[in-house]
Chain A
Amino acid sequence: MTEPSPHRFFTPRTAAIFRAIAACIVPGDASPGGHEGADSDAAIALADRAIAERPARDGRLIALFLKVVELLPVLRYGKPFSRLRPEQQRSVLAFLESNRALPKLRQGFFGVKTFALLGYYGGEECFGALHYPGPRRDAPYYVLRARTEGAKQ
C-alpha cells in the first residue's frame, strides 16, 4: 500500500524531483549546527501550498517541467536528474536557466526556482540564518490573536 501524499499539488514522484532541484537552489549547510536548505520538509510543504493555490494552468506547467527535468539528463548522462551527482544536477539546472535556444526551459526553471525560494525564504525557519527578526508582534493581527488565545485559557 502506498502512503497518502502529504501534499496538495505534488505527487510523490514530482515531490522527489522538486526536492532535488530545491536542494541545488538553496543548498543546506551540512556542518554541525548548519542550516537546512530549500529541500527541507517545511520548505517543500510551503512551496506545495503556493503552487496548489495558483491558477490550475500554472500547476500543469510546473508538473510538466518537473518531468522534463527528470528525463532530460538521460540523453547526456544516461540517468534521470534525481540520480545524478550534485555537481551534475547543478550543471543541468545552469543549462536550463541560461540556454539561449529554448525559452520555455528558461521559463520553466524560473517558475520552479521561484517556488523553491518561496518555500524556503517564505518560512520563518530561515529567519535566524538571515539575521531577520520577522513580522512585528505588536501589529493588530498578532495582538488580537494573543488576546483571543489569552481569553480562551
Chain B
Amino acid sequence: MTRRLDYDVLIIGSGAGGGTVAARLSKLCGEGVRIAVAEAGPFYTREDFNMREPDMLGMFVDRGAVPSTSFEIAVTAAQCVGGSTSVYTGVTFRAPEGLVAGWASDFGLPELREDDVQARFSRIETEIDAHVPGLDYENENNRVFRRGCEALGLPVKQFRLNIKDCQRCGFCNLGCPYGSKRGTLEVQLPEAVARGVELIPNCTITRVYDGGAEATIGGAPPGTQASRHAPGPVQFRAKIVVVAAGTLSSSALLLRSQLANLSPACGKYITLHPALTSFARMPQPVRGFDGFPKLYYTDAYSESEHYYLETAFYFPFITAKSLPGFGPEPTRFMRSYDHLACTIALVHDEAEEHNRIRVKDGQRVLEYHLSDSSRQALVQAQRRAGEIYFAAGALEYVSLVSDRFSITSADELASAITERSLVPGKVVVSSAHPMGGCRMGGDPRSSVTDAFGQVHGHPSLFVADASLFPTSTKVNPYLTIMAFAERVAERVEARLRHF
C-alpha cells in the first residue's frame, strides 16, 4: 500500500544543490515548517568509508559511470547522501568574473546580478572552510607538476580546497574517511538535520507534480545507515518541491513526470567538462597516493586551447582503467605505480542543443558528442601535459590518445598523440562535472526555469542544482552550484510565505 507523507517542502537530492537548500531553509523548522530531503542513494557516514574501490562503488550512480550512447564519454556522479560532494576533491573555484553577467544578458535574466552571486561565494567559502592550504601539502606528485610548469615558464596556480584537519590520505574520491572534506555530508546536511529537516536516504523520486511527488523507498544496503521509513511506495504531499537530483537526473525526472507546458529545452544543452588523465613515470618515487591529490593547476591554455590542466591522483583500478591497451605494457607500467605522476585535462565545452538527456522507455539516456573543438582540446592537452612531465624529468609518458603505449621524449609528443587515436569506445573520455539540462532563461521556449530556479509555469516547482547552468562554468562547479541553490532557497522561503 502506498503511504502518504506530508511536508511543506520536499527537496529531491542531497548534493551540492539539495544540501545547500536544506541548510538554508532549515531555519524555518523552528517556525513549524516541515522539510524533507529525499535522497535516492544510501547513507554512508565517515565511519562507513573503507577506502576500497570495489566496496565503495555503491556510492556512484549505476555503481560506476554513465556512458553516452556513442560511448565517447562516461559521466561519474555520486548517488548517496551528500551527492557528488561526498566523492569530490573539494577544489573550490568561484565562477569566473563575468560569467554570471553573461548569463544574465545572453539568456534574458535581468534578476541575475554578478555582484549578488560573487558575494555569496565568499560567505559560503567561510562556512565550508575553503582556503589555500600551506605548502606542506605539496607531495611529490604535485611537486613534479609544479616543477615541470616552472621549467616551461607556465603559470602554476594553487587551488583553494574546502578541507579541515585533513589527514592527507588521498582517498577523497571514495568518501573522506576522516570527515575532513567539508561537503554537504559534513556541513550543510548535519546543520539541516539538527534543526529539524528530515533526511530520507534510499528514497527514489519517480515522478513530480504540482503539490507532491511519487517515490519508492528501498532498504539500506549493508554497511550504510537506515532511515525510519520501511521500504515501499510513498506519495509525498508538499507545498513546494525542489528538484536537486543533479544534471544526470533532474531533467530526466521532469521529462518522466510529463509536466504540462514543460519547456522543449528540458534535458538539452548539457555540458560535461570532458576530461582525460595522463601519466608520467618518474625516476624518483612519487607515491601520489600519500598526501592531498590535487594542489595545482595551470590555466595557461584556457583562452588559447580551451582547457585547464590540473594535478590528480587515483587508486589502482581507476589508474589502470585510464591506461591504453592491455597486456604486458600497462601491467609493467602499473608495477611502477609508486613512481607515477598524474594530471587531468578539463575541457571547456560549449552548450549545444543536441547534447542532452532523453528518457526512453522510462530510462535515462545521455546523448553527447564531443565537438571538433573539444576533441582538438583533448589532444592538445595530452601533448602539453607530456611537455610538462618531460620538463620535470619524466622517463616515459602514457596517454590514452596515442598511437603507442609509451612516449619517451618530448619530441615524440606531436606525432604520437593525434586525434586519430581518439576512437569512441576505445578511448572513453571521462566527466565528473555534468551541468545543464534545466537551464535558466527568460524565454520558456528555450529555457526550463527562471533566474530563481522556478520551473516556468509551475510556481511550486523549483530546480536547484548544476542543471540550472545555461553554459559550462569552465571551472570546477560545486561552489557556483551552492551559490545558485542559495538563491533558490531564498525564493522558496518567500513563496512559502504566500501559502
Please report A residues at the B interface, Cβ cutoff 8 Å.
24-27, 37, 46, 49-50, 53-55, 58, 90, 93, 97-98, 100, 103, 106-107, 110, 113-114, 117-118, 120-124, 126-127, 129-136, 138-142, 144
| Cα–Cα, bound, A123→B52 (Å) | 8
Please report B residues at the A interface, Cβ cutoff 8 Å.
46-54, 57-58, 62-64, 67, 70-71, 167, 169, 171, 177-179, 289, 316-317, 319-321, 325-328, 330-331, 334-335, 337-338, 423-426, 428
* Residues A107 and B425 in contact, CB atoms below 8 Å apart: yes
Which B residues are in CB contact (< 8 Å) with A136? 51, 167, 169, 171, 177
| Cα–Cα, bound, A127→B52 (Å) | 12
* Residues B321 and A117 in contact, CB atoms below 8 Å apart: yes
Q: A103-B424, A107-B71, A122-B53 are in contact. Are A131 and B338 (CB under 8 A)?
A: yes
* Residues A106 and B47 in contact, CB atoms below 8 Å apart: no
Which B residues are in CB contact (< 8 Å) with A140? 46-47, 177-179
Which B residues are in CB contact (< 8 Å) with A37? 331
Which B residues are in CB contact (< 8 Å) with A98? 423, 426
| Distance (whole angstroms) from the CB of A151 to the closest CB of chain B | 16
* Residues A90 and B327 in contact, CB atoms below 8 Å apart: yes
Q: Which residue of A lies closest to B425 (CB)?
A: A106
* Residues B326 and A144 in contact, CB atoms below 8 Å apart: no
* Residues A26 and B331 in contact, CB atoms below 8 Å apart: yes
Which A residues are in CB contact (< 8 Å) with B317? 117-118, 121-122
Q: A27-B331, A54-B62, A140-B177 are in contact. Are A130 and B316 (CB under 8 A)?
A: yes
Q: Would you give 9 A-B contacts (Cβ < 8 Å), ordered by A?
A: A27-B327, A98-B426, A100-B423, A106-B424, A106-B426, A130-B335, A130-B337, A132-B337, A138-B167
- Judged by DSSP, the binding face of A is helix
Contact partner of A103 (CB less than 8 A), chosen from B64, B71, B167, is: B71
* Residues A97 and B177 in contact, CB atoms below 8 Å apart: no
* Residues B71 and A106 in contact, CB atoms below 8 Å apart: yes
Which A residues are in CB contact (< 8 Å) with B51? 134-136, 139, 141
| Cα–Cα, bound, A46→B57 (Å) | 12
Contact partner of A46 (CB less than 8 A), chosen from B49, B54, B338, is: B54
| Cα–Cα, bound, A37→B179 (Å) | 35
| Cα–Cα, bound, A121→B46 (Å) | 24
Which B residues are in CB contact (< 8 Å) with A90? 327
Which A residues are in CB contact (< 8 Å) with B428? 110
Q: A118-B317, A130-B335, A135-B51 are in contact. Are A25 and B424 (CB under 8 A)?
A: no
Which B residues are in CB contact (< 8 Å) with A117? 317, 320-321
Which B residues are in CB contact (< 8 Å) with A131? 335, 337-338
| Distance (whole angstroms) from the CB of A55 to the closest CB of chain B | 6
Q: A24-B326, A54-B62 are in contact. Are A141 and B425 (CB under 8 A)?
A: no
Identify the interface centre among A26, A121, A144: most chain B CB within 10 Å of its CB. Answer: A121
| Cα–Cα, bound, A87→B171 (Å) | 38
* Residues A25 and B326 in contact, CB atoms below 8 Å apart: yes
* Residues B425 and A135 in contact, CB atoms below 8 Å apart: no
* Residues A121 and B320 in contact, CB atoms below 8 Å apart: yes
| Distance (whole angstroms) from the CB of A114 to the closest CB of chain B | 6
Which A residues are in CB contact (< 8 Å) with B320? 26, 117, 120-121
Q: A118-B317, A122-B54 are in contact. Are A141 and B177 (CB under 8 A)?
A: yes
Which B residues are in CB contact (< 8 Å) with A55? 62-63
| Distance (whole angstroms) from the CB of B364 to the closest CB of chain A | 11
| Distance (whole angstroms) from the CB of A28 to the closest CB of chain B | 9
| Distance (whole angstroms) from the CB of A20 to the closest CB of chain B | 13
Identify the interface centre among A132, A134, A144: most chain B CB within 10 Å of its CB. Answer: A132
* Residues A141 and B71 in contact, CB atoms below 8 Å apart: no
Q: Which residue of B lies closest to A137 (CB)?
A: B51
